[in-house]
Structure 1
Amino acid sequence: MKFDTAYSLSLDDKLSIYDVRDLNFDETADFDSDQDSFLCPNDQCRAAFDASNALSTFNAKNVNYLRTPHFKNKTSTRHIDGCRYASTHKTASGESDDEREDNFPSEWVLARRQYVRKPPLAGTEGDIPKAPAKASSLRVTASPGNPDSTPDKTSVFAHPVECFVSNIDDKDKLKSMPLKIGEHTATYWTYFKKIEYLQDNKGLIYWGKIKAIKDYTSSFRIDFEKKVWLDKKPYSVNVYLSKKLIDNYRKRKAFLEQIKAAVDSERALYCFFYGVTPELQQVPSKKNPEQTFGVFSANIENLDHLIIREAPGLE
């Protein structure tokens, strides 16, 4: 059985698998999921066992992934009777149903979640608690009154993107699941807008197949395959990632590893981004600087809100 939330022993808090990935690549965070222990998110179940009753992670440290990240039970993991995280069945191949993200957050919080490592109790430094007896204080609030509910908020862009990508074959589901961003709520289907239709509305999550990534050594430009039609004319679309943006990014190493691999990749890659809407600009021609041509372009402002990935099934 797969699930996307677990209790982190080192942070004394419940984390989604996307929080764990975010922390693993964050160069400003003192965190390594391999050195942590993840326990059942059900408070009553977790309290019934000691800290050795841990879960395992899947795709917690891969920069690029195709199969949905998740926590899962080890063969030795135990649960109390009635815990919904107990393994009840496996697929014919012996693997859990890890091809689809089923935990849809109803809100994507644009402000990055702060993970505060809590100090040990006096006189217990170096000791590992044997059984967390009560629910930890949550920075991402779960549904009230349900001790094992999955938090319905996320601050990690990869989570709603994975929900969209892995459920692309179920349009009815995407059209029924709500997503709140800022003060606005729409369905997942409405919020994710193909790049060629970016003129339909602003403030959406735009996505499209990448035609090419231009590597300028310290900056990059992502060109999209599809064009935008305006006044019966096609215009190219691109987004620009500046040197300053990349140099100041807290996950700089992981990002550079990913985008440099993408530059040389022959596989179909897609780009998702939020926070800017490409606008029609007149750009000087390289061959004749006195002439200009139109292109829809935007400077990305936050790399936390941009993803480059494979996405089988989108087109």
Structure 2
Amino acid sequence: MKFDLAYCLSLDDKLSIYDVRDLNFDETMEFDSAKEHFQCPNDACRSAFDAANVLGTFNAKNVNYMRTPHFKNIPSTRHVEGCPYVSLRTPASGLEMDGAESDDSREEHFPSELLLTRREYVRKPASPAVAADVMRDDPKPASAASNVEHPSRESAPDKTSVFAHPVECFVSNFEDKELLKRMPLKIGEHSAPYGSFFKKIEYLQDNKGLIYWGKIKEIKDYTQSFRIDFEQKVWFKQPDEAKKKPYSVNVYLSKKLIDNYRKRKAFLEEIKHAVDSDAELYCFFYGVTPELKQVPSKKNPEQTFGVFSANIENLDHFIIREAPGLAGK
């Protein structure tokens, strides 16, 4: 069984797996999921065991991934009878049963809103290791470690500040068009079903303020800055033209934007890997809409040509990744 929410002992809060990934790569905060203690998000179940009863993670630290990240039960994980997170692999008895859990199921937890302000965290004074030792010596309900009352939030949070979460929902459920039509998403003042909020790059003229995505044709590496060229073109008719014609689309990532990014190392690893990759890659971004611009020709600087272009303003809302399910779509 997989689930994307767990209680983090050191932060005394419930995190989604996407929160954990975000913290792992954030250079402004010390956090390593491999050293953290994650426990069952069900309050009653968690309080029945000591801090040594932990969950595992899948794809929490890989910068590039194709299979949906999640928390998972490990062979030693125990749950109380009736806990919704008891699974074939880890029943309440703690013994394994026939039937392996799948690590590559699609994302089932759809956040209804992408918050544009990042979530903030406050670490408890005691380290997870110290807390775990204390709990083993003097077992107490895990929830007693803090006087903070946790809301009953046993499914994924309804809202997220991590862009990768709604993107994974869209990518891993791409074939289920009816589901994407039913599930709502809100960003800022704009609300629409997932299927409508994610707009193919060639249709960017339909509406502004959406999540645009498309297959990458080429990544121009200028050493300290990058340009992403999309394979699909936008058909557009200028006032002085008789009919529509195709225009290339690209987005630009400046050196200043990258240098000031809190996850700079992870981002550079992500994009350098993309530059060297032969795989089909897709780009998703939010916050800017490419517009028609006139740029000088390299062969003849006195001449210009039109291209739909935009400067990315926030790398928290920008992703390059493999997405096999989108191939040919």
Q: TM-score, normalised by structure 1?
A: 0.93
How do 1:1-315 residues align onto structure 2 when only pairs under 5 Å count?
1-88=1-88, 94-96=100-102, 98-120=104-126, 126-128=130-132, 130=135, 131-133=141-143, 146-231=152-237, 232-314=244-326, 315=329
Q: What is the CA-CA distance between 1:116 and the residue it aligns to?
A: 1.4
Task: Give the greater-gyration-radius structure (CA).
Answer: 2
Helix, strand or coil at the partner of 1:198? helix
Report the CA distance between 1:97 and its aligned residue: 5.5
Q: Which amino acid aligns with 1:26?
A: D
User: Aligned partner of 2:187: which letter?
Assistant: I
The percent of aligned pairs where both chains have the same amino acid is 74
Q: CA deviation at 1:150?
A: 2.5
List per-residue Cα deviations over 1:130-151 (Å, max 9, x = no partner): 332258859xxx9x6x452321
Q: CA 1:76–1:93 in 2, change beyond 3 Å: closer, same or farther?
A: closer
Deviation at 1:92, TM superposition (A): 8.8
1:69 partner letter: P
Please provide the CA RMSD for this pair: 2.2
Distance 1:68 1:125 in 2: 28
Query: Post-superposition shift, 1:182?
Result: 1.2
SS at match of 2:85: coil
Q: Find the aligned partners of 1:93 and 1:248 in 2 and give their Cα distance.
A: 47
Q: Tell me if the contact between 1:104 and 1:163 (Cα under 8 Å) persists in the aligned partners.
A: yes
Q: Which runs of 4+ in 1 moved over 3 A?
A: 88-93, 124-129, 134-138
Structure 1: gaps (5+ residues): none
Query: Which amino acid is 2:117 matched to?
Result: A
Q: Is the 8 A contact 1:13 1:137 kept in 2?
A: no
Aligned length: 308
Structure 1 stretch 260-269 or stretch 300-309: which is displaced more? Answer: 260-269
Aligned-pair distance for 1:264? 1.6
Report the Cα offset of residue 185 of structure 1: 1.6
Q: Residue type of the partner of 1:56?
A: G
Q: 1:28 to 1:97 in 2, by over 3 A?
A: closer
Give the 3 Å change call, closer, same or farther, for CA 286–111 of structure 1 in structure 2. Answer: same
1:192-217 superposed Cα distances (whole Å, 9 cap, x missing partner)? 00000000000000000000000001
* Higher helix content, 1 or 2: 2
The 2-side partners of 1:117 and 1:218 are apart by 34
Structure 1 residues 201 and 43, CA gap change in structure 2 (3 angstroms): same
Whether the aligned pair in 1 keeps the contact of 2:214 and 2:232 (CA below 8 Å) is: yes
- Match for 2:284: what amino acid? F
Equivalent position SS for 2:324: coil
